[in-house]
Amino acid sequence: MIKQPTSRTCFMCGRENSHGLKMVWYNNPELNRVEADVTIPEHFNGYPGIVHGGIIAAILDETAGRAVMLDGDFNNLFVTLRLNLTFRRPTPTNTLLKAVGRLEHKGHKGMKVAAELLLPDGTVTTECKAVVIRPTGQISKSWEHEKKFWRVEDD
pLDDT at 88 (0 to 100): 98
DSSP secondary structure, 39-87, as one string: E--GGGEEETTEE-HHHHHHHHHHHHHHGGGTTS-TT---EEEEEEEEE
pLDDT at 107 (0 to 100): 85
pLDDT at 84 (0 to 100): 98
> Model-level pTM?
0.92
pLDDT at 56 (0 to 100): 98
Domains within the chain, CATH numbers bracketed: 2-143 (3.10.129.10)
pLDDT at 61 (0 to 100): 97
pLDDT at 142 (0 to 100): 76
Q: Phi and psi at residue 71, in whole multiples of 5°? A: -80, 0
Other C-beta atoms lying within 10 Å of the C-beta of residue 143: 14
Segments of the chain with pLDDT less than 50: none
Give the separation between CA 63 and CA 120, rounded to whole angstroms: 17
Which residues does residue 111 pair with via DSSP β-bridges, in sequence order? 106, 132
> Any idea what DSSP says for residue 136?
-
Give the separation between CA 102 and CA 113, rounded to whole angstroms: 6
